[in-house]
A and B are shown apart, each in its own frame.
Chain A
Amino acid sequence: MPLPYLPHTEADRSAMLREIGVSSIEELFHDIPERFRNAEFSLPPPLSELELKKELRQLAASNSNLDDYACFLGAGSYRHFIPSTVEHIIGRSEFSTAYTPYQAEVSQGTLQSVYEYQSLICQLTGMEVSNAGMYDGSTSAAEAAMMACSVTNRSKVAVLATVNPTYRDVLDTYCRGKNLPLVTLESGSESFPSDCACLIFQQPNFLGYFEQIEAYVQKAHDAGALVIAIVEPISLGMFRPPGDYEVDIAVAEGQPLGIPMSFGGPHLGIFACRKEYVRRMPGRIVGRTVDADGNPGYVMTMVTREQYIRRGRATSNICTSEALMALAAAVYLATLGKRGLKHVAELCYHKAHYAAQAIDKLKGYSLVFPQPFFKEFVIRCPVPPPQINQVLLKRKIIGGLDISHLIDNGMLLCVTEANTKRDIDILVETLGSL
């Protein structure tokens, strides 16, 4: 059978070969030396649409899909409610099958959506400018560190020990790549090193609680460093945005904003900063302008920062990013709006606290940190967390992240609006029964 997405008939092929003036398709490959041609490919026989759908349904069925589980796992990827508007809008193929809007006149849909995204991210974070999005939270943090080095002309990067270890790993990869020393500072340090380009902290931090950071931010600024905050976007419905506490660059994992967990990707890197640094930003930026008739329109702007113009002197190598996920985030923020986001944040807060208090009362369990938290918190368990998670899994509960390498029998739990009271009560009851 012919493939549905290869439209040529044999007659078409013959006619085209005649026009080209060759007698076979093989002739078109004559530049590939003979000895490298006709390679053998060991691949399974092809499946039809019907067969493939069946195979993938089977593969999917062998996963424990969290629509059928109560999930208390966070640590960088979060289960939040996604309104139907998001999938329907990003599913429109005028959006999904376009590419980077190089031809602005036929890409106003993408461009205006990016302008909305940039605006919404600025409103959410309290920052002055946002780019069109990066790969994910950790690479946004790494790009922010690179940018800080370029702005300050310094080569050392400082990160707080309470930042998500995965983010610190990615920072380490990028910093080693560019030969930039990475310094890890303990939370609560007295002084800030004078030769660092930036201070990177996470708010709330990896362990869930809010850092008391303002004095330290001041110290970093006094030392001439930029301050980079890694924030959690849903928390900003309720908590102070980074724009309120003197941050120079705010980055975040955008996945909670209407993007499925998808086993870790595609996610979205949020990247926003002070206006004075806009020309040093990595990634695409869209600006509003006018057309030849004086009507408003949108274009990619400051493209001289980008690799396809500036090549080796670009602010980053980023090209294809996560544009469709940025659209999802924009639609999510617009769908929830002012009240909706605040409400979702409050649901997370109260449910997480309800769960934390109940677990703290259980014999053998305790809440580790007394500081204020949002939706994540650490509990100390009476037995190693993997043992607990095994039992929970049997009861269709995905437990928290085992962080016993950081805290003795520590488990990082996450509670969102997607967890019902019943889910939480069953979790608490199961933990108590161990």
Chain B
Amino acid sequence: MKRHYLLPDISQAGRIGCSLPHLDVPSSELPPEELLRQELGLPEVSEVDLVRYFTALSKLNYGVDTGFYPLGSCTMKYNPKWHEDVAKLPGLTALHPYQPEESVQGALQLMYRLQEYLAEITGMNATSLVPVAGAHGELAGLLMVKAYHQARGDKARKKILLTDSSHGTNPASVAMCGLETGVVASDARGDLGLESLESMMNEEVAALTLTMPSTLGLFDPKIAEISQLVHERGGLLGGDGANLNALLGQTKFGELGFDYVQLNLHKTFSTPHGGGGPGSGPVCVKENLIDFLPTPLVTEDNGRYSFMSPPKSIGKMADFYGNFGVMVKAYAYLRSLGPEELKRISEDAVLNANYVKEKLKPHYFLPYDRTCMHEVVFSGKKQKAKGVATVDIAKRLLDYGLHPPTVYFPLIVSEALMTEPTETESKETLDNYIAAMIEIAREAAENPEVLRNAPHNTPVRRLDEARAFRQLDLRWEIDHQKK
């Protein structure tokens, strides 16, 4: 099959990719000419050519169904097939968000139960399912923090503290709330530096937000002290729940002292990541923040479900009620798990990460040599000393048919390689990955050139990102069709 073609290249005037109904009513007068469109430059492609084109594209992709995908912080666990099937039921997809509540009681019941389950799992009092992604949930959390302090007349609190290992979305969300960021330094163990927090935690601080366990894959044993300090000085403690997978069935954010936590259903609750969404980022809160939750919530009264708006809600954050289609899959996942199974998930996730850590420790530098949670962060600095960068290691993994870990994050580890195996991977899969990583460490020492030129076996070789940036080519135009 010939490569490097685009839709306009398989377009011919007169083709179409589906059959459409005829007009079955009398036609009406057309609107004034000045409202009408002159040209519509869309391609014209037959159904068979279209399907082959996108099928060919799909084969250039690597997904969880293709193989091991240890992209740290993203929880690329396997997505059970039957969750996909139930989510396609017409009774769950062919629903208009504004149809009468009595005609969508099943959908509302599902949302209500999901709110309850998520609150139970996180040890919180209420959940809003509205945010559609993790960063959207972070934004919801911070807007609630702001509204909470304003409602108390505490106008000086304009700063959000974060750690130096936090996700990039954290400070970006703070900026979207018109608040300032203060960065708390990590200590030598990779945990939050209590002294740094002590010196920064003043009456200008609205909240500290923490990823738990941290992006280093570490659980901070001082969590109770941190929570106490923040609360004593009038702040709130917010959670980035991106790493909830490590804590499922073990402990609860609410009991650890968090006032709110934002979840990622597409990570922890196993819904497919879609190449970058759809996700779902519910936010769970304690009693003190319930009134501020984004609207709407689902309530139940005598077996009848309906929408309601919290009295001091931060308002609407999306067109409708959140990503219902994603909620259905997460609900299916949760209903397949009881407390025992929930715990087994975090156990196997943590077991897998520690297994990879122990096996690779002799070959890669481990900046924080302690028991990790669901992910382990190595540094490629041993290899860097030999002239091989972490990006080269990542690209070489592609030649072994494996997806690389997250690289160059968190920022506090140089040449970071952040590996999150997840619980759905077998010992054989991990052993295969470990063997590849050991082989790559040997190549880095003996034949660095093969890494620097990697990948060799992928659909394309290493791409020129600088050129993409300098010579922006962001679209085709239909006039180029016959080029």
Contacts and interface: CB of A to CB of B under 8 A. Distances in A.
A309 B474 contact: no
B398 A106 contact: yes
A416 B143 CA distance: 38
Nearest to A288: B473
A395 to B, nearest CB: 13
29 contacts: A12-B427, A16-B352, A38-B250, A59-B107, A64-B104, A66-B99, A73-B98, A76-B97, A81-B20, A93-B272, A95-B63, A96-B272, A101-B276, A120-B7, A122-B475, A123-B42, A135-B132, A146-B176, A167-B319, A173-B294, A263-B96, A266-B278, A299-B463, A310-B168, A311-B171, A323-B278, A336-B17, A337-B11, A338-B43
B103 interface: yes
Interface string A297-323: 111011000111111111011111111
Interface in B51-65: 51, 54-55, 57-65
A98 B424 CA distance: 16
Interface in A214-272: 236-241, 244, 253, 260-267
Interface in A308-354: 308-314, 316-325, 327, 331, 333-344, 346-347, 349-351, 353-354
B35 to A, nearest CB: 6
Contacts of A13: 348, 351
A63 B107 contact: yes
Contacts of B252: 36, 39
B318 interface: yes
A93 B104 contact: no
A120 B86 CA distance: 31
B169 A317 contact: yes
A39 B357 CA distance: 27
Contacts of A36: 223-224, 251-252, 255-256
Given A60-B90, A420-B24, A262 B325 contact: yes
A105 B458 CA distance: 6
B274 A96 contact: yes
A198 interface: no
Given A57-B86, A289-B473, A291-B461, 10 more contacts: A39-B250, A97-B79, A107-B62, A115-B6, A174-B176, A261-B94, A263-B107, A263-B325, A287-B468, A314-B172
Contact of B61 (A108, A240, A421): A108
B219 A21 contact: no
A130 B355 CA distance: 44
B295 to A, nearest CB: 9
B302 interface: no
A106 B135 contact: no
Contacts of A240: 34-37
Interface residues of A, number: 201
B92 A16 contact: no
Nearest to A16: B355
Interface in B1-47: 3-4, 6-7, 11, 15-18, 20-21, 23-29, 31-32, 34-37, 40-45, 47
| A40, A96, A108, A301: residue with the most chain B Cβ atoms closer than 10 Å | A96
Interface stretch (A82-90, A186-194, A361-369): A82-90
A110 B58 CA distance: 7
A132 interface: yes
Interface pairs A-B: 3 shortest CB-CB: A264-B320, A60-B91, A324-B274
A129 B474 contact: yes
A239 to B, nearest CB: 6
B28 A95 contact: no
A274 to B, nearest CB: 13
Nearest to A62: B106
Interface in B104-148: 104-107, 109-110, 117, 120-121, 123, 132-136, 138-139, 142-143, 146
A267 to B, nearest CB: 6
Interface string A100-135: 111111111110110110111011100001101001
Interface in B248-273: 249-252, 255-256, 264, 266, 270, 272-273
B255 A320 contact: no
B42 A320 contact: no
Interface in B70-111: 71, 74, 76-80, 82, 84-86, 88-100, 102-107, 109-110
A407 interface: no
A339 B14 CA distance: 8
A237 B40 contact: yes
A151 interface: no
Contacts of B440: none
A266 B220 CA distance: 35
A30 interface: yes
A23 interface: no
Contact of B462 (A8, A110, A291, A323): A291
Contact of A290 (B59, B175, B464): B464
A334 B7 contact: yes
A21 B344 contact: no
Contacts of B57: 108-109, 112-113
B61 A110 contact: yes
Interface string A32-47: 1100111111111111
B47 to A, nearest CB: 6
Contacts of A313: 175
B61 A320 contact: no
Contacts of A21: 358
A368 B366 CA distance: 70
A93 B63 contact: yes
B335 interface: yes
A8 B63 contact: no
B290 interface: no
A286 B123 CA distance: 40
Interface stretch (B193-201, B309-317, B377-385, B443-451): B309-317
A340 B350 contact: no
B173 interface: yes
Contact of B335 (A47, A265, A351): A47
A291 B459 CA distance: 10
Contacts of B264: 320
A408 B224 CA distance: 57
A172 B315 contact: yes
Contacts of A183: none
A25 B275 contact: no
B322 A116 contact: no
Contact of B27 (A3, A339, A350): A350
B258 to A, nearest CB: 12
A60 B473 contact: no
A26 to B, nearest CB: 9
A376 interface: no
Nearest to A425: B25
Contacts of A434: none
B336 A3 contact: yes
B472 interface: yes
B310 to A, nearest CB: 13
A360 to B, nearest CB: 12
Contacts of A393: 100, 102-103
Contacts of A75: 98
A318 B247 CA distance: 26
B475 A302 contact: no
Contact of B96 (A77, A115, A389): A77
A430 interface: no
A209 to B, nearest CB: 10
A16 B38 CA distance: 67
B232 interface: no
Given A65-B95, A289-B463, A335 B469 contact: no
A31 B221 contact: yes
